[in-house]
Structure 1
Amino acid sequence: MTSITRNLPWFVKDLGVAIVGEKCYVSLVENLHLQDVECLKYSLSKGLGIGIVVGGSIMKVPQLLLITSAKSARGLSLSAYALESLAYAITLAYSYRNNFPFSTYGENFFLTIQNVLITLLIIHYPSSRLTRTESSGPKLALATLTTVVSGLAMSVVPLSTLAALQVATIPLSLFSKIPQIRQNQRSRSTGQLSAFAVISQIAGCLARLFTTSAEVGDPILLAGFALALLLNCVLGLQMWVYWGKDVRESSIPVGTRIEEAEEEKIPAAAWQEDGKVEVVIQPASPITSTGARQQPGRKWARKVD
């Protein structure tokens, strides 16, 4: 068997060395030393890391499709996604500038882009239908400018400052999930929140705890992933509890004020007699020539000079 594994095509060997390194490739593939626990652990970490990066590139795509297809961001917290985007961006900059292996943080690159897009869509599609007539252009422009400036700032700040920001992502992760958790609890619904995204985040945090401890061992990153796992589990529990208990949006047409909608309601009375239900609809009050609605019970008479 080793005569085969030691004569694999060059592109297979180059790929294996690029993933697990020369030492572990020779030990596990060429010599088939499957008892090499250190290399097995390292290879598993690398495999999980690559899987997380690939999964992260599509993790929030279902959420984007849900918002764009429904043209609504109902149930999604703007503050939650804005803070989460900032946390992803800080972790991306911190890991890149410390020259960590891409397999240990690569998903943050894709998640940052996807989260920024979701945040902009939440601004573009307000959760309330009664406020959709307002222009979202200035808010979108401000959010885009803030994103660009933040990205440039994190690429030039000193590493010591970036390390402090990375520590700040621990409470930032906490505050980024709490608004979404509170909104779900308050509305008893998860709205347009994607179940695929929530489940993927739980699986990703579990895998990241293993890969970070195996390849980097950075306690700041480990603490951040542990906290994110806990809060993502809370979101997953809410998704399970409120599954199917969606809240329907109001059928009031766009741009209609609530007072106008209430004014158009016609009272009705109903009673049951001899097994039959009769419904009596009270006629609307007549409208005068001046456009004023006549109040019930008041008689109007034309004044004769």
Structure 2
Amino acid sequence: MTSITRNLPWFVKDLGVAIVGEKCYVSLVENLNFGDMDCLKYALSKGLGIGIVVGGSIMKVPQLLLIISAKSARGLSLSAYVLETLAYAITLAYSYRNNFPFSTYGENFFLTLQNIIITLLILHYPSSRLTRTQSSGPRLALATALTTAGGIALYAAPAPTLAALQMATIPLSLFSKIPQIRQNARARSTGQLSAFAVISQVAGCLARLFTTSAEVGDPILTAGFALALILNIVLGMQMWSYWGKDGKDAGVPVESRFEESEKEKIPAAAWQEDGRVEVIIQPASPATSIATPTRQQPGRKWARKVD
């Protein structure tokens, strides 16, 4: 068997060496030494890391499709996505500047891009009736400018500043999930929240705890992934508890619900685009007019003319 594994095509060998290194490739592939626990652990970590990066590239795609197909971001917390995107971007910059293997942080690159798009969609499809009629152009322009400025600042930040920011991702991860958890609990519904994204985040955090300890050993990253795992499990439990429940009235002010209920009592044709109501009073029928006695005005007498 080793005669085959030692004579594999050059591109297979180059790919294996690029993934697990020369030493572990020779030990595991060419010599079939499966008792080398260090190389086995390293190879498993690399395989999980590559799988996480590939999964991260499509993790938020179902969430994007849900928002676009429904033309609504109902149930999604804007503040939660802004904080989560910031945490992803900081981890991406910190790992890149410290020359960590791409397999240990590559998903943050794809998740940052996907989260930026989701945040812009939340601004484009606001869930509040008060802002639904307003133009989303200024909000999108401001969000794009702030995102670009933040990316440039993270890229140019000194190493000590990045390390401090990376420590700040631990409370950021906490505060990024709490608004979404509170909104789900208040609405008793998860709205347009994607189950695939939540489950993938739980699995990704579990795998990242293993790969970080095996390849990097950075306690800051490990603590951040552990906290994110706990909060994602809470979101998963909410997804299970509220599955199939609708929360269309969640987040809508009481006044808006009252206006909606009053609007349903009036024919749709009577509503104008500017929100005014055109009330049409039907004239009384002749029979009704004849049958109804006429009230005399006070202080006025009627006389019958006698010829």
TM range (shorter): 0.7 to 0.9
How many residues end up aligned between the 2 structures? 273
Aligned twin of 2:290: none
Higher helix content, 1 or 2: 2
Aligned twin of 1:292: none
Change (3 A) 1:13 1:248: same
> CA offsets, 1:39-76, max 9 Å, x none?
00000000000000000000000000000000000000
In 2, are the aligned partners of 1:209 and 1:222 still within 8 Å (CA)?
yes
In structure 2, distance between residues paired with 1:263 and 1:302: 38
Pairing 1:7–2:12 present? no
Aligned twin of 2:148: 148
* 1:129 positional shift: 4.3
Aligned twin of 1:138: 138
Give TM-score scaled by structure 1 length.
Answer: 0.84
Aligned twin of 1:171: 171
Aligned twin of 1:19: 19
In 2, are the aligned partners of 1:199 and 1:236 still within 8 Å (CA)?
yes
Change (3 A) 1:264 1:9: closer
In structure 1, distance between residues paired with 2:204 and 2:146: 28
Change (3 A) 1:260 1:201: closer
Pairing 1:158–2:158 present? yes
In structure 1, distance between residues paired with 2:245 and 2:237: 14
* 1:136 positional shift: 1.0
> CA offsets, 1:196-230, max 9 Å, x none?
00000000000000000000000000000000000
In structure 1, distance between residues paired with 2:67 and 2:297: 60
Aligned twin of 2:121: 121
- Whichever residue aligns with residue 262 of structure 2, its letter is E
- Between structure 1 and structure 2, the one with the greater Rg is 2
* 1:132 positional shift: 1.4
- Whichever residue aligns with residue 158 of structure 1, its letter is P
- Whichever residue aligns with residue 189 of structure 2, its letter is S
In structure 2, distance between residues paired with 1:32 and 1:221: 33
Change (3 A) 1:227 1:263: closer
* 1:111 positional shift: 0.0
Change (3 A) 1:224 1:28: same
- Whichever residue aligns with residue 23 of structure 2, its letter is K
Give TM-score scaled by structure 2 length.
Answer: 0.84
Structure 2 alignment gaps of length 5 or more: 267-278, 284-293, 301-307
**Equivalent residue runs for 1:78-227 within 5 Å:** 78-129=78-129, 131-227=131-227
Aligned twin of 2:236: 236
- Whichever residue aligns with residue 148 of structure 1, its letter is T
SS in 1 for 2:8: coil
> CA offsets, 1:126-159, max 9 Å, x none?
1134531111111111110000000000011100
* 1:287 positional shift: 4.0
In structure 2, distance between residues paired with 1:139 and 1:49: 36
In 2, are the aligned partners of 1:130 and 1:257 still within 8 Å (CA)?
no
In 1, are the aligned partners of 2:249 and 2:257 still within 8 Å (CA)?
no
In 1, are the aligned partners of 2:56 and 2:111 still within 8 Å (CA)?
yes
Percentage identity across aligned positions? Answer: 80
Change (3 A) 1:40 1:139: same
Change (3 A) 1:188 1:4: same
> CA offsets, 1:145-191, max 9 Å, x none?
00000000001110000000000000000000000000000000000
